[in-house]
């Protein structure tokens, strides 16, 4: 008897392409393993024998193989319609069993992984008849009826680990192999495949060009179902800004823009909700359960790639997207369900990175059969976007031709607030009561304004937002029907490849004024506000503690305290906390230790999140979470999700628009001023859509 093998079942209706997939998957696995392959069609006792064939397979094939024994079974003679010869299937390190019923309920306790293969009905029938010819055609309906009867009584689809939409384009085996790597039960035996996946080679091309970023994104990824643009929409137009000490911090945050989708050989996407992580790799989808940050630790945090010579951006391909606020359930908060995924990421195996300071575009691609084709296409797109007319005067706010006016074609959404003015002010009083009782020092109270989408174009809406309210951490995320359009000015956490950590919380906001004198007075008032400085300093102390969990002792410093930065619609008070990551520390856990951003909770964090769950009338969703990247060189840069429009499907074919807004409540807060602050924060987004803050 040999050790028990890893058994993978490939199931699905007839004609879905299971046999071809099984053969090609076995060929790939044989590069590192001994593999046995069994086809159920060899054992079905005739055209009416699906149920009997499943029983034979389970008892005479699967059961002995599960024990590490050779399986002796009798084949079916399809020509003579009777039992045929006796065969033996030997156990191996990996056994693949394939056919209708391979993952039936009686088989599943003996399987390590279940792959369900599907294809459109018309495609399945034509494929099956092409393969088996006229011998199958008279029995197609009979066999299909048996499949229907079996599936009506067996929940195999719900118990499949991997789902494959087989388009018969040759991609399924490689996509399935990628998906198998994410199953914890298979990861020990697939260690060679995992090592090969980590043995990545980076190709990079440097182009001297200053393209219109919006035009470039639209050209490269306008048709992509999943795409991310981390958009430094207020990048300095004058390179000298990066050397000016007064504005160098803000300029450096806006130096790079990253544009990517999940296309190509390595492309993947991930949605995480309520403890379930659903990963799609091409045509294959795999679902696993467990905490998100534990999953993140399995795919990120190790230095898999080096940056190319002369490349100064920390992003060297990897995961991009958002983490929603409700992931707080994993970091000390309560379990609250959101209507949007708790996290949405895509893996970019190729991307364009714009260096706004040096007027350079870097094209990055993992070595793959399709890398040459993409690099050539991307070069053409960069040169085309560089020929787009120069941006408007007043800054590097590049916009393509046809950039929309406020209120697209008269489509102006009508927003309603989750809390009326009076209700929000009552909650301010409740928060102050908690402060008086000593349960918290500061409560970042939020609310949501939402609207039925009147038919806005998400892309055009984002272009309007970035023109009205340019920001260093602006971003446009598209995950199918879910679109996130952010104009965030706030960094949550940066962690460089060599372990430098930085958080830059914002606390304290004033509206801008068109009159220079009044505007300067507003800035001065913010800079000298005792209340705003107190709010900011409390969050600085909280973040010093968050970073210290995984920092080198003594490395946590505050390099800027309560500095004022000015943006298109607001003045903001910003501080900078730096630290050095402890060597060998788990990077995903270091991110989790600081999540969610303290500037969006209050202090102390965990007890204040409990208070917020009581005060706020629903989940925050994407708002208050983080947007950014997790790079293959172990770096990350994440922004706080504020000033962000979320456009999400409503389940009835329409879309809902939502905008989260809030402010820090302290013992000294005045309800009228706090309510005016959330109106100020909402203005930059709502005004770009031609909308107004809801009336009381």
Which DSSP state fits 241?
Answer: G
* Cα atoms in the 13 Å half-sphere on the side-chain side of 165: 6
Q: How far is CA 105 from the centre of its chain?
A: 33
| Whole-number Å distance between alpha carbons of 64 and 688 | 67
Told to judge if 125 belongs to the known catalytic residues of this protein, a careful annotator would answer no
Question: Do 268 and 277 meet the contact criterion of CB atoms below 8 Å apart?
Answer: no
Return the bridge partners of 478, or none.
227, 483
Q: And the tokens for 256? A: 């790079």
Of the listed 215, 490, 504, 677, which one is catalytic? 490
Helix axes 671-688, 421-436, angle to 10 degrees: 130
| Whole-number Å distance between alpha carbons of 112 and 14 | 23
| Whole-number Å distance between alpha carbons of 529 and 277 | 45
Q: Taking CA 163 as the corner, what is the angle to CA 162 and CA 167, rounded to the nearest 5 degrees?
A: 135
Which DSSP state fits 3?
Answer: P
CA distances from 471 to 172, 397, 438, 684 (A): 41, 10, 37, 11
DSSP for 247-294 reads THHHHHHTSEEEEEES-STT-EEEEEETTEEEEEETTEEEEEES-HHH
Of the listed 507, 565, 605, 681, which one is catalytic? 507
Q: Count each helix (H run) and each strand (E run) in the chain, helices first.
A: 18, 31
Told to judge if 507 belongs to the known catalytic residues of this protein, a careful annotator would answer yes
Alpha helices in 109-265 (DSSP H): 121-132, 140-153, 172-180, 191-198, 213-221, 248-253
Rg (CA), the chain: 28
Burial string for 47-73 (b: 16+ CB within 10 Å, else e) reads: bebbbebbbbbbebbbebbbeeeebeb
Burial string for 537-558 (b: 16+ CB within 10 Å, else e) reads: ebbbbbbbbbbbebbeeebbee
Question: Do 94 and 33 meet the contact criterion of CB atoms below 8 Å apart?
Answer: yes
DSSP for 296-315 reads HHHHSSS---PPPTT---S-
| Whole-number Å distance between alpha carbons of 492 and 595 | 9
* Cα atoms in the 13 Å half-sphere on the side-chain side of 111: 25
Active site residues: 490, 507
């Amino acid at each position: 008897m040999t050790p028990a093998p890893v058994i993978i079942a490939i199931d699905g209706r007839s004609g879905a392409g299971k046999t071809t997939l099984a053969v090609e998957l076995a060929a790939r696995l044989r590069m590192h393993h001994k593999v046995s392959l069994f086809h159920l069609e060899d054992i079905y006792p005739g055209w009416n024998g699906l149920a009997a064939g499943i029983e034979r397979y389970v008892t005479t094939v699967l059961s002995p193989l599960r024990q590490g024994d050779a399986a002796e079974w009798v084949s079916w003679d399809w020509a003579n319609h009777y039992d045929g010869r006796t065969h033996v299937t030997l156990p191996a390190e990996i056994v693949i069993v394939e056919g209708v019923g391979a993952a039936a309920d009686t088989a599943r306790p003996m399987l390590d992984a279940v792959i369900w293969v599907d294809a459109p009905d018309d495609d399945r029938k034509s494929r099956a008849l092409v393969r088996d010819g006229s011998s199958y055609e008279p029995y197609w309906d009979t066999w299909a009826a048996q499949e229907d009867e079996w599936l009506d009584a067996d929940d195999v689809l719900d118990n499949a680990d991997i789902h494959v939409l087989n388009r018969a384009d040759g991609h399924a085996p490689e996509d399935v192999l990628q998906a198998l790597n994410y199953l914890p039960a298979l990861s020990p035996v697939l260690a060679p495949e995992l090592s090969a996946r980590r043995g990545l080679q980076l190709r990079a091309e440097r182009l001297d060009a200053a393209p219109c970023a919006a035009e470039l994104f639209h050209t490269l990824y306008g048709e992509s179902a999943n795409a991310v643009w981390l958009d430094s929409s207020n990048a300095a137009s004058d390179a000298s800004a990066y050397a000016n000490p007064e504005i160098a911090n803000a300029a450096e945050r806006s130096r790079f823009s990253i544009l990517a989708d999940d296309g190509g050989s390595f492309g993947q996407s991930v949605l995480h909700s309520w403890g379930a992580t659903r990963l799609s790799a091409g045509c294959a989808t795999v679902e696993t359960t467990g905490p998100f940050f534990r999953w993140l630790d399995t795919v990120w945090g190790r230095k898999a790639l080096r940056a190319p010579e002369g490349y100064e951006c920390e992003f060297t391909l990897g995961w991009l997207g958002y983490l929603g606020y409700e992931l707080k359930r994993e970091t000390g908060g309560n379990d609250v369900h959101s209507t949007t995924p708790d996290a949405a990421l895509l893996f970019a195996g190729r991307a364009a990175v714009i260096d706004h300071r040096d007027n350079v575009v870097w094209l990055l691609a993992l070595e793959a059969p399709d890398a040459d084709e993409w690099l050539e296409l991307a070069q053409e797109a960069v040169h085309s976007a560089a020929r787009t007319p120069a941006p408007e005067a007043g800054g590097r706010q590049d916009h393509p031709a046809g950039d929309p006016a406020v209120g697209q074609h008269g489509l102006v959404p009508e927003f309603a607030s989750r809390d009326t003015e009076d209700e929000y002010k009552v909650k301010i009083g409740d928060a102050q009561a908690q402060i008086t009782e000593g349960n918290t020092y500061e409560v970042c109270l939020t609310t949501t304004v939402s609207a039925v989408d009147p038919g806005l174009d998400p892309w055009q809406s984002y272009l309007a937002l970035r023109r009205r309210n340019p920001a260093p951490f602006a971003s446009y995320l598209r995950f199918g029907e879910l679109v996130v359009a952010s104009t965030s000015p706030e960094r949550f956490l940066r962690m460089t490849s060599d372990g430098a950590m930085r958080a830059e919380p914002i606390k304290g906001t004033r509206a801008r004024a068109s009159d220079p004198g009044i505007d300067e007075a507003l800035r001065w008032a913010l800079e000298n506000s005792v209340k705003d400085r107190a709010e900011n300093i409390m969050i600085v102390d909280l973040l010093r503690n968050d970073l210290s969990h995984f920092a080198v002792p003594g490395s946590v410093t505050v390099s800027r305290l309560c500095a004022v930065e000015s943006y298109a619609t607001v003045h903001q008070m910003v501080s900078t906390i730096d630290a050095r990551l402890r060597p060998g520390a788990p990077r995903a856990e270091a991110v989790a230790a600081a999540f969610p951003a303290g500037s969006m909770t209050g202090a102390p964090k965990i007890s204040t999140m409990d208070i917020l769950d009581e005060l706020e009338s629903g989940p925050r969703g994407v708002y208050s979470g983080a947007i950014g990247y997790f790079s293959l060189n172990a770096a990350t840069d994440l922004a706080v999700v504020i000033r962000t429009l979320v456009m999400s499907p409503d389940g009835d074919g329409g879309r809902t628009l939502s905008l989260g807004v809030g402010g820090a409540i302290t013992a000294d807060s005045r309800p009228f001023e706090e309510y005016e602050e959330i109106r100020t924060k909402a203005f930059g987004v709502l005004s770009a859509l031609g909308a107004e803050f809801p009336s009381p």
